[in-house]
Amino acid sequence: MQNDRHLTSDESTGSGSGEVHALSALEAHVGEAPARWLGGILCGLTLATAYLCVAHFVAGRGVVAWDPTIPLDRAIPAVPAAIWLYMTNILYYFACVFFLPAGIAATKALIAIWRSLFIVIAISLAVFLLCPAEVALRDQMHAALVGRGAALHAIYDGLYQLDPPFNAWPSGHVSHTLIMALFLARIWSRRPWRRLVLWIAWTSMAISIVLTKQHLVFDLVTGIALGAVAWRLWVLPHLPASFSTVSDEGLGSE
């Protein structure tokens, strides 16, 4: 990785310059890596808190606007072990910080990712509140868990208490991780094997949301659509020009 670069005039202007200056100021006090990790942790905690508050509010209200369930949803088998893939979504939040090159351009790109995640969660929460749908498939998982180990039972029990089945579509699991996977793929533009592993891992995680009966097929499709739109509208236009040549070896020369 290259050493940090000073903020030039063209990089300090434009959308999100306030966030860039704020994070740059924090980096000056605690260092680049700690500032990014702190920002990422705060971002993740805020997103999770907003999601869970709305999930429990909608569940407590008990109102279902419609049912997007299709026959395929029940035809897909419940696979208890898919929970391990399902939980890998958290790794994408860490990976975006861990593999980020040094420099202000990379910091600005990371802020664009964080901003897009907040926009996506705002859209998703609005849908949850205005057009709630229930994922009424947990009976299949209960049946599939019969005779399974205590660890899987404990994980699903905890998940069901934490996450009521009303925040259905679009799937935040899919929309958020798709944005971050696209970001990592750009960072690894010169690492084809890493990108191959990345997309295999992401596809497996995305499929796991229906195998665990946490989501419907409709949730998966709308999650992909929202993530793709968010990447196109709220990430790409705000990536600094110098980030177009970024790799895990550092920022390319401009």
The secondary structure of 68-118 as a DSSP string is ---HHHHHSPP-GGGHHHHTTHHHHHHHHHHTPPSSHHHHHHHHHHHHHHH
5 located within any domain: no
Task: Select the more confidently predicted residue: 3 or 213.
Answer: 213
Q: How confident is the model at residue 77 (pLDDT cuts 50, 70, 90)?
A: very high
Res 168: pLDDT: 87
Task: Taking residues 226-238, report their average pLDDT.
Answer: 94
Provide the percentage of residues in the chain whose pLDDT is more than 90.
68
9 located within any domain: no
Q: How confident is the model at residue 95 (pLDDT cuts 50, 70, 90)?
A: very high
132 located within any domain: yes
Q: How confident is the model at residue 23 (pLDDT cuts 50, 70, 90)?
A: low
Task: Taking residues 148-176, report their average pLDDT.
Answer: 93
6 located within any domain: no
240: which residues sit within 8 A by CB, 6+ positions away? Answer: 11, 105, 108, 109
| Lowest mean pLDDT across 22-31, 148-157, 168-177 | 22-31
Domain containing residue 146: 17-245
Whole-angstrom CA distances from 218 to 72, 73, 230, 237 are 10, 9, 18, 28
- pLDDT of 48 > 90? The answer is yes
Res 8: pLDDT: 36
Task: Taking residues 9-27, report their average pLDDT.
Answer: 52
Res 96: pLDDT: 94
250 located within any domain: no
Res 197: pLDDT: 97
Q: How confident is the model at residue 166 (pLDDT cuts 50, 70, 90)?
A: confident
| Lowest mean pLDDT across 69-78, 186-195, 242-251 | 242-251
Task: Select the more confidently predicted residue: 93 or 107.
Answer: 93
- pLDDT of 157 > 50? The answer is yes
Residue 98 to residue 120: CA distance in whole angstroms: 22
Q: How confident is the model at residue 17 (pLDDT cuts 50, 70, 90)?
A: low
- Chain mean pLDDT for the chain: 86
Environment class of 169 (CB within 10 Å of its CB; exposed 0-12, middle 13-18, buried 19+): buried
Res 244: pLDDT: 52
| Lowest mean pLDDT across 10-19, 112-121, 130-139, 178-187 | 10-19
11 located within any domain: no
The secondary structure of the chain as a DSSP string is -PPP----TTTSSSTTHHHHHHHHHHHHHH-HHHHHHHHHHHHHHHHHHHHHHHHHHHHHHT--------HHHHHSPP-GGGHHHHTTHHHHHHHHHHTPPSSHHHHHHHHHHHHHHHHHHHHHHHHHHHS-B----HHHHHHHTTT--HHHHHHHHHHHHHS-TTB-SS-HHHHHHHHHHHHHHHHTTT-HHHHHHHHHHHHHHHHHHHHTTSS-HHHHHHHHHHHHHHIIIIIGGGS-GGGGG-BTTBPPP-
Domains of the chain: total: 1
Res 1: pLDDT: 38
122: which residues sit within 8 A by CB, 6+ positions away? Answer: none
114 located within any domain: yes
- pLDDT of 3 > 70? The answer is no
97 located within any domain: yes
